[in-house]
């Protein structure tokens, strides 16, 4: 089995090298590994850093956007470029620990799950104590998403999401920015894929340290929860779509 680790990157020169080092320090228990970095038109030296890394490591490939589009667009590009049987999303900052990835991937490898979400809120591992109102916002978005999808996630907005390739082919991300999180969640729930959640640790950063997501992204998430749950049916190649065709 080949694993593709997808890294969307926008102005992450301070952390890229470090996170790549951490990614390659983990034993994923897979036959083959690739890392796909998508530079979302960074204005700092991130792209140069990425190029230096890929020159020294044949398992790292880079794609570049001509213009900044957002994390959703970067994931769309990464999914098109990736060649793995399983894909997992890894941010280019240091908020998530790649050491948690094997627990997501192994559920897919053992054919128990098709999609695995990490959860920062159902875990006993370390969590940086951070913004209270963020957590309330996060909990609300997960609650509202769950009400619309009828699945019982505890952390819809989490970065760590792993997919079997067949699932990726049915997602077709439309949202360019952070709205792709509720969009993908709605699409995998509608497809009735086998979804699991595993606890992960979280080393959150502050806005001073470079965090970028803001309240506007929260408002957009609400719109996306409504849009992708009310106005989309299951993809024809998903388990639910195939049942509909019978």
Contacting positions for Mg ion (CB under 5 A): 91, 93, 95
Sorted by sequence, the CB contacts under 8 Å of residue 174 that are 6+ apart come out as: 180, 183
SS3 of residue 32 by DSSP? strand
* Two tokens, residue 54: 């890929």
Query: What's the rounded Cα separation, in Å, for the pair 170 and 164?
Result: 11
Nearer to ligand GDP, 53 or 113 (CB): 53
For position 8 contacting ligand GDP by CB under 6 A, the verdict is yes
Here the tokens at position 101 are 């990835």
Asked whether position 71 contacts ligand GDP by CB under 6 A, the answer is: yes
Q: Considering CB distances under 5 to 8 angstroms, the limit depending on partner class, which of ligand GDP, Mg ion, none binds residue 39? A: none
Distance (Å, whole) CA 119 – CA 121? 5
12 near ligand GDP, rule: CB under 6 A: yes
Could you tell me if residue 180 is left (phi over 0), alpha (psi between -120 and 50 degrees) or otherwise beta? Answer: alpha
Least Å distance, CB 96 to ligand GDP, is 9
Kindly identify the residues of this chain, within the stretch 49-68, that bind ligand GDP according to CB under 6 A.
Answer: 68
Instruction: Identify which of residues 71 and 235 has a Cβ nearer to Mg ion in the complex.
Output: 71
Rounded to the nearest whole angstrom, what is the least distance from the CB of residue 135 to ligand GDP in the complex? 13
Interaction between residue 9 and ligand GDP (CB under 6 A): yes
Measured at the CA of 160, the angle between CA 92 and CA 180, to 5 degrees, comes to 85
Instruction: Answer yes or no: are the C-beta atoms of 93 and 169 closer than 8 Å.
Output: no
Over the window 74 to 103, marking each residue x when it contacts ligand GDP by CB under 6 A and - when it does not, the resulting string is: x----------------xxx-x--------
Binding segment (CB under 6 A) for ligand GDP, from list 2-10, 134-142, 148-156, 180-188: 2-10
The first and second tokens of residue 229, run together, are 């749950």
| Footprint of ligand GDP (CB under 6 A) | 8-10, 12, 40, 68, 70-71, 74, 91-93, 95, 211-213
């Amino acid at each position: 089995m080949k694993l593709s680790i997808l890294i969307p990157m926008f102005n992450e020169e301070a952390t890229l090298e470090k996170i790549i080092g951490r990614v390659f320090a983990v034993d994923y228990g897979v036959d083959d590994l690739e890392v796909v970095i998508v530079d979302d038109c960074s204005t700092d030296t991130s792209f140069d850093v990425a190029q230096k890394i890929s020159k020294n490591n044949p398992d790292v490939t880079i794609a570049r956007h001509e213009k900044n589009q957002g994390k959703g667009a970067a994931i769309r590009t990464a999914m098109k470029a990736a060649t793995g049987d399983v894909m997992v999303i890894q941010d280019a900052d240091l908020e998530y620990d790649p050491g948690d990835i094997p627990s997501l991937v192994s559920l897919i490898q053992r054919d128990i799950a098709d999609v695995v979400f990490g959860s920062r809120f159902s875990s006993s591992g370390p969590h940086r104590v951070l913004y209270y109102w963020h957590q309330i916002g996060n909990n609300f978005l997960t609650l509202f998403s769950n009400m619309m999808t009828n699945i019982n996630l505890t952390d819809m907005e989490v970065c760590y999401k792993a997919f079997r390739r067949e699932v990726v082919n049915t997602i077709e991300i439309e949202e360019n920015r952070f709205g792709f999180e509720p969009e993908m969640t709605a699409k995998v729930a509608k497809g009735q894929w086998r979804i699991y959640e595993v606890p992960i640790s979280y080393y959150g950063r502050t806005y001073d340290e470079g965090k970028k997501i803001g309240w506007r992204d929260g408002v957009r998430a609400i719109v996306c929860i409504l849009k992708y749950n009310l106005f989309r049916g299951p993809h024809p190649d998903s388990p639910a779509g195939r049942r509909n065709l019978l």
